[in-house]
């Protein structure tokens, strides 16, 4: 299971964008982000309705499985998370910690935590059969002051997980 970017001109990116493009509504935009194994991660952004300055648009992720039958899977998805965790947990050094965390959180929660840095940097700790990912998300709507909430994703040896906020 290797992590790689989705370049604009790669065959995989063209396939992914053709598949995702068929599902987009008029106002949505899709951005290919990265690929892990045969899972291509795509961010879909829906802007707020025109004239609404006090709400944010929405961001969601889908994964396009690039196997014999390419298809879209909405995030979060337990089955894909389990497949990812089964491959990565025994040998986490196959990708950097930040890339492991980003993929794991999108698969488990549908959220991307890569916007916060410094003291809010996410962590990955896997000890005695329990994986703990601590991360923060900026939460807020429109022009309101956002708040930062800490989350903990705890994964057992069977890849079953819970998410708690602090």
pLDDT, one tens digit per residue, over 16-32 is 999 999 999 988 999 99
Percentage of residues in the chain having pLDDT higher than 90 = 70
pTM: 0.91
Helices 78-88, 97-109: crossing angle, 10 deg rounding = 160
């Amino acid at each position: 299971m290797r992590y790689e970017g989705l370049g604009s001109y790669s065959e995989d990116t063209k396939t992914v964008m053709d598949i995702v493009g068929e599902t987009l509504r008029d106002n949505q935009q899709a951005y290919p982000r990265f690929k892990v194994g045969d899972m291509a991660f795509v961010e879909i952004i829906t802007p707020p309705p025109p004239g609404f300055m006090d709400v944010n648009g929405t961001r969601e992720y889908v994964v396009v499985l690039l196997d014999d039958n390419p298809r879209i899977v909405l995030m979060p998805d337990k089955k894909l998370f389990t497949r990812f965790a089964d491959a990565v947990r025994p040998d986490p050094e196959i990708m950097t910690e930040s890339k492991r965390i980003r993929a794991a959180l999108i698969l488990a929660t549908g959220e991307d935590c890569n916007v916060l840095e410094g003291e809010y940097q996410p962590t990955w700790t896997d000890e005695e059969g329990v994986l703990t990912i601590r991360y923060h998300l900026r939460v807020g709507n429109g022009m309101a002051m956002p708040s930062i909430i800490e989350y903990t994703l705890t994964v057992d040896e069977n890849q079953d997980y819970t998410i708690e906020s602090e």
